[in-house]
Amino acid sequence: MSRMTNDIDAVRMCTGIGLVALVDTVVLGAASLMFMSFLSLRLTLLCLAPMLVIVLATWRLGKLLHKRFSQVQAAFSHMTEMVRETLAGMAVIRAFAREDDNSLRFAAVSSEYVNKNLAW
């Protein structure tokens, strides 16, 4: 359930803000290149030379970010599932006086989630 909720939110952000940023980048980039080439074609080509390095770095970083995002999503899903189980079994937890154990387990799971978010 948490994966679906977070994925829907990620898709919403991508289609909303991402689409606007994409259109801005394409339109402003094309206009900038056009004006730059009118001023000096040689300087324009010199400015575009580092673009290959930027494209390669972005491609490599994109793979790393996708992997990290998947790990964070899995940790969030685990934490959300634990909360759901705790709420569903609250009467049993109280009946067997397992509140402290459950709190420690939740602290460990939430700490793992935070660490996945802060990991390099």
Could you tell me if 114 and 64 lie in one domain? yes
Could you tell me if 41 and 80 lie in one domain? no
Rg, Å, the chain Cα set: 24
What CA–CA distance (Å, rounded) separates 39 from 37?
A: 5
| pLDDT tens-digit series, residues 63-111 | 898 999 889 989 998 999 999 999 999 999 999 999 999 999 999 999 9
The count of domains in the chain is 2
Query: Can you give the pLDDT at residue 1?
Result: 62
What CA–CA distance (Å, rounded) separates 17 from 15?
A: 6
Could you tell me if 119 and 64 lie in one domain? yes
Domain that holds residue 24: 1-49
- Which is it for the CA torsion 88, 93, 99, 101, positive or negative? negative
| pLDDT tens-digit series, residues 41-63 | 999 999 888 988 898 899 999 98
Q: Burial, 87: exposed, middle or buried (Cβ in 10 Å; 0-12, 13-18, 19+)?
A: exposed
Could you tell me if 62 and 18 lie in one domain? no
Could you tell me if 2 and 36 lie in one domain? yes
Could you tell me if 35 and 2 lie in one domain? yes
Q: How confident is the model at residue 3 (pLDDT cuts 50, 70, 90)?
A: low
Could you tell me if 119 and 84 lie in one domain? yes
